[in-house]
Amino acid sequence: MRVRRRLFLLTCLALPASALAADDALQAAIRQAIGDRAPQEGGIAFTAPRVAENGAQVPVTISVESAMAGDDRILAIHLFATANPTPGITSIRLHPGVGRAEVQTRIRLAQGQRVLALAEHADGRVLSAAVEIGVTSGGCLA
């Protein structure tokens, strides 16, 4: 009985550590994309299904209000999955000739989780939006 109790206690101690490691990986991926800039919530329309039947192909659309000229131009849109084994999904750089800051893609999710979008402005601001997406069948192998 003691061995099981020790195993249970060790498992309980390991769970928060794995959650912290995932959070550290997410923070490192965000820092790599935008540096030390603090994102501001809002300014992004993030469309995704509330529940995806297949985590291997989850459709998402991200659009940012922008004139796409001068300082009011979106330079990049970054996507992160907060519980995926590798949190950075993609970084999309927008060419100055693009008329609208909108991206449509399909992403892979290992499980239901929060997906974060960040948009970098030419003036240095970073906007953020997040959506919770449930997944009935995971799309990533860990």
What pLDDT digit, counting tens, does each position of 39-84 carry?
Answer: 999 999 999 999 998 889 999 999 999 999 988 999 999 999 999 8
Handedness of CA 16, 22, 26, 27 (dihedral sign): positive
Domain assignment present for residue 87? The answer is yes
Q: What is the pLDDT of residue 137?
A: 76
Cβ atoms of residues 49 and 55 within 8 Å: no
| Full domain range(s) for residue 8 | 2-135
CA distance 50 to 68: 30
Amino acid at 93: R
Per DSSP bridges, beta strands 113-121 and 74-81 are antiparallel
Residue 140 scores a pLDDT above 80: no
What total of structural domains would you count in the chain? Answer: 1
| CATH number (domain holding residue 106) | 2.60.40.2470
- Please give the model's pTM, rounded to 2 decimal places: 0.80
